[in-house]
Structure 1
Amino acid sequence: MKKNDETSRNLIGLDQQHFIHPTSSMQQQQQHGPAHIFVRGKGVYLYDHDGKAYLDGMSSLWNVNVGHGRRELGEVAKKQMDTLAFSSCFATFSNKPAIELAAKLARVSPPSLRATFFTSGGSEANDTAFKLARHYWKVKDQPKKRKIIARMKSYHGVAMGATSATGLKPFRDFAPSLAPDFLHVDHMSIEALRALIDREGPETIAAFVCEPIQGAGGVHVAPDSYLCDIRSICDEYELLFIADEVITGFGRTGAYFGCDHANISPDMMCIAKGITSGYAPLGGVMLSKSLHEQLTAHSHGTLLHGYTYSGHPTSCAVALKNIQIIEEENLIDHAATMGEKLLLGFRTIQEQYSEIHDARGRGLMAALAFSHNGKNEPLAPKVVQAADQRGLILRAVTFDQQDVLVCAPPLIINEEELNQLLSILESSVQAVVS
């Protein structure tokens, strides 16, 4: 950003004084101002206040699946706002977009899932799932089943329950007095999970929550067999299986949902991000037909849980159009094809540098893991900075002594743009490690 530009200086000053940024360094903001002020997006690119283009290698926050600047989504939002911008869904009030979206989700999701509770985003979706799991066992006369097991290296959001479930310790250390009854287990060990259940007692455990691919924790891809084993263990011990598909849903992995790769159906599935490609805030929890029916049969009185914007008509209308785009443009198969090329490119870069010990991913989610012995300064943040200077946005994960660079471009990325991404990444790695 041009510091001598008066408009830029004014925006920087206002940002420093008045805008508290999420998941950012407050001191860095005060010292240097915002890293970028973006004013426009088109396709896989973002453009800053000075007109410089950046290839959005993270789909912003893993969520702009259909790319930036989709006029048809803005047009749908305007049409819905002109008709009915908002109305409450409390007290069984409803609206057409929410009804149609819930029905559409039931058609495209894993086969057991039928009904959706809408939220404003992923953190609320996971919090809702945890509350519904505990409520379910309460109305089933098993109130002791309230513990939630989550995996280490997992990320489930920043609401109180979602933070407590998150398996990345710095997030839990951010504020004291976490919610009780959350447990964490090795992120890939079936044996460790079974031992934890036996130790705690299955009669005390409500649910197990799992990302099919851990995103913010470093793109750790669970084998299909792991997910199948989880499904079996949950059935064996009578636990609810919650799939956190906030990042992995709506084509990101090269399938509609991450669970589809293993051909399993969870009892609950949390969704957000790609459901609207970030064009409107929306999330939700899908419940299986069995769970929905049993909750309905055993619950009495009012379901005392809900958000002001649950079933927001404008957000739901945007989601319907977004899903239509994903389907009509065949973006799920495209993500699978381009994902193979992305992973191949990452592995080619890995082969050139001894500092990289792993290249992994699935669909349009990929990561490079740098060797990190706990003493040297992590390399991934330096590569991310070098890439930023060259016009590519990526992210670094350094939690739990990891040193990982992660990448998740929009599902619309074409081969030329993917080659540009890989070229910038390779030059950035070379600049840092050479």
Structure 2
Amino acid sequence: MQAAFKQNRTDLHNELVALDQAHFLHPTSSLKQLQDDGPSLIFTEGDGIFLKDITGRTFIDSLSSLWNVNIGHGRKEPGKAAAEQMGKLAFSSTFSNWSHEPVIRLAAKIASMTPGDLNTTFFTSGGSEANDTAFKTVRHYWKLKGRPEKRKIASRKKSYHGVAMGSTSATGIQPFHDFTTSMASDFYHVGNTVQAFQDFIDQEGADTIGAFIAEPVQGSGGVNLPPEGYFQEIREICDRHDILLISDEVITGFGRTGKMFGMDHYDVVPDMMVIAKGITSGYAPLGGMVITDRLYQELTDLAEGNFMHGYTYSGHPVGCVVAMENLEIIERENLVEHVHEMGLELLKGFKWLQDQHTCIKSYRGLGLLGAISLDSGIEGETLAPKVVAEALKRGMVGRAIVYHGQDTLAFAPPFVITKEQIQDMITIVHESLLAAK
């Protein structure tokens, strides 16, 4: 019986590999490697911080898949909410002044959670669309204000804002630019200091700059925390020069950093906030742009005709009820406070690892968003990819970041992780570092 089960599983695996190779164009993957070997992992199940693949192996998901499965895998509540909504109203457009209860309830819920007067949300299918929406809205806003020359968007080097045309152009990671032949116009990347932004304003002129966008903690660029006082000074500069401030909270939003939003750590209220990932914990595609009361009122008062921007799935009712259920779980289970506590445990683990391994240059973290910087000791050689490969053998899915000469291990486990499970993660990293050196 057991032999037959294994054979059936092997047959299914081989069938799926062949179909994958023949028909699926993977995102952000090595197409040559896929053609040669097929997908390296085919996942079938998830439970809490764990994933299981088609061969029956179980892995710790140390990055919440794509920084997004915050409440953990295998929760039943979002599926029940989705099924109920599908049976009642699976889809309804929000164009032409139409609406429905799920999108109204979710917009109100977001307003109750966001800082300051960020009270109005435009919904998208994800973070890339949300950032493109923000950039178009910035330019639309300044056009309505009679200042169409304020069209330049400034972002930071090592930033990541998505892969749509505008969001790719704002992203400050070179390989995403190298993928295509040209970027959208009027996007600029500045260094990660206050002075770098001020120098950019002095060079380009404040009258040409519409907005500055930044992640409260850079994610894909290396999990980089800002210098002390950085965002407070950036807010003051934006106010002084009449530049809109956009906070990209796609990764940091809804509890990832141990506070509800990343900007809550700095007591700064941006003019726009971009959200996605954690709003549904990956149980449905959803994102959005949240704007202040002042901005919304000006857009309304100065409007000429329709707001000519929208996606078919803006405010999808099923996505909205999944988001509501997800946010209720985060609040009901006090997961933001738990993230803060487990984040401290993660830093303790990083400190212990550094004491054991001279190849660890530094570590950092805020809530359950952390990173370890490595140094292989050999010019031009990165250690992080080897560590990730060794961790996979030991039952942990990891992430190596090697853009711009970095050699970094990134971590963002699900919010439900326990102290004991963090220790398990640290043990796997320790063993993987020993094996990789």
Q: TM class, shorter-chain normalised? A: over 0.9
> Is 1:211 the counterpart of 2:225 in the alignment?
no
- Partners of 2:33 and 2:372 in 1: CA distance: 26
> Is 1:239 the counterpart of 2:243 in the alignment?
yes
CA contact (8 A) 1:44 1:68 kept: yes
Query: Which residue number in structure 1 is paired with residue 304 of structure 2?
Result: 300
Query: Which residue number in structure 2 is paired with residue 274 of structure 1?
Result: 278
Moved more, 103-112 or 347-356: 347-356
> Is 1:346 the counterpart of 2:354 in the alignment?
no
Go from structure 1 to structure 2 and tell me whether the alpha carbon gap of 1:432 and 1:373 turns closer, same or farther (over 3 Å shift).
closer
Query: Which residue number in structure 2 is paired with residue 225 of structure 1?
Result: 229
Aligned Cα root-mean-square deviation (Å): 1.4
Select which of 316, 324, 337 maps to 2:320.
316
Q: Which runs of 5+ in 2 are unaligned?
A: 1-5
Moved more, 173-182 or 199-208: 173-182
CA contact (8 A) 2:9 2:54 kept: no
- Partners of 1:373 and 1:417 in 2: CA distance: 30
Select which of 167, 172, 176 maps to 2:172.
167
- Partners of 1:10 and 1:152 in 2: CA distance: 43
Query: Which residue number in structure 2 is paired with residue 149 of structure 1?
Result: 154
CA contact (8 A) 1:115 1:289 kept: yes
> Is 1:10 the counterpart of 2:44 in the alignment?
no
- Partners of 1:42 and 1:82 in 2: CA distance: 26
CA contact (8 A) 1:2 1:50 kept: no
Select which of 132, 136, 143 maps to 1:131.
136
SS at match of 1:214: coil
- Partners of 2:10 and 2:70 in 1: CA distance: 33
Q: What do the CA deviations read for 1:200-252 (whole angstroms, capped 9, x no partner)?
A: 00000000000000001110011451111111111011000000000000100
CA contact (8 A) 1:186 1:193 kept: yes
CA contact (8 A) 1:395 1:406 kept: yes
CA contact (8 A) 2:223 2:410 kept: yes
> Is 1:291 the counterpart of 2:324 in the alignment?
no
AA at the equivalent of 1:175? T
> Is 1:258 the counterpart of 2:251 in the alignment?
no
Select which of 24, 31, 36 maps to 2:36.
31
Moved more, 166-175 or 221-230: 221-230
Select which of 78, 91, 99 maps to 1:94.
99
AA at the equivalent of 1:99? I
Query: Which residue number in structure 1 is paired with residue 3 of structure 2?
Result: none
- Partners of 1:182 and 1:116 in 2: CA distance: 24
CA contact (8 A) 1:249 1:258 kept: yes
Select which of 113, 116, 134 maps to 2:118.
113
SS at match of 1:342: helix
Q: CA deviation at 1:148?
A: 0.3
Query: Which residue number in structure 1 is paired with residue 405 of structure 2?
Result: 401
CA contact (8 A) 1:2 1:8 kept: no
Select which of 346, 356, 363 maps to 2:360.
356
AA at the equivalent of 2:317? P
Taking structure 2 as the reference length, the TM-score comes to 0.97
AA at the equivalent of 1:123? S
CA contact (8 A) 2:106 2:324 kept: yes
Q: CA deviation at 1:2?
A: 8.9
Query: Which residue number in structure 2 is paired with residue 366 of structure 1?
Result: 370
Q: What do the CA deviations read for 1:25-64 (whole angstroms, capped 9, x no partner)?
A: 1011111111111111111100111221101001000000
AA at the equivalent of 1:247? I
Q: CA deviation at 1:376?
A: 2.9
- Partners of 2:51 and 2:294 in 1: CA distance: 44
Query: Which residue number in structure 2 is paired with residue 193 of structure 1?
Result: 197
Taking structure 1 as the reference length, the TM-score comes to 0.98
AA at the equivalent of 2:336? I
